[in-house]
Structure 1
């Protein structure tokens, strides 16, 4: 177990093979986590179009289960929940609905292309939630329009 573990949710329709990190943000995040000596795990969920219509709930439920197993396995790791696009919604749900002891190990959220940009996350101090949105990314404005800006992370 590493001192910090990132649980990352990939964007809609991004491949879950081989490591559930997708192809837009996940690989670069893995590189940075590895440099810091941190662990990173992809959240194992479908990342389908149907998940968007449920505002990420199926992935959020999967993340809650994965987080619970992680903290049982690594009781001293601090967890950063992260996600891109639909994965950002998944991370938000996971943070808001996780129970103790998992909730206590959440150090913060790192969200990319977040459809709920700027919204509070239940149980997580505002200063521990960081969102990155590129200029012109309509998804960050909540309109779910996929543009070049949304794919530029």
Structure 2
């Protein structure tokens, strides 16, 4: 079946069963490898993308459920030549160790910053809680988000 999804600002035709997880369509059909397969159960966040600006687990979201809503992946945030402020902050804070979780972390963090450009520490931590980093770089990830949110880091747990 051919479906049309709105991906990173462009209409994209995909040939997929409507029950196919969005993650598989992104990676296998469209060649967008930013979102990763982690657990397949929506429990780790490695597959996080945005759907109409909200962070979702693409491993448990059927492509048929996307409808006319906008899908945004890490490939839609920026590029090596033109990084988004959040991507640059992740680089500056050396927030990636193995890098497996980073695309999901970026997408979840960007969803928060798009709604609230200056979230407080508790809001950042609460919002980021569903995404896991197996390497333990959570503190660097939080510093990167605070940097973009305009927080100096004073009073926040490093």
Q: Note whether the superposition's TM-score is higher than 0.5.
A: no
The TM-score normalised by the length of structure 2 is: 0.30
Tell which structure's C-alpha radius of gyration is larger.
Answer: 2
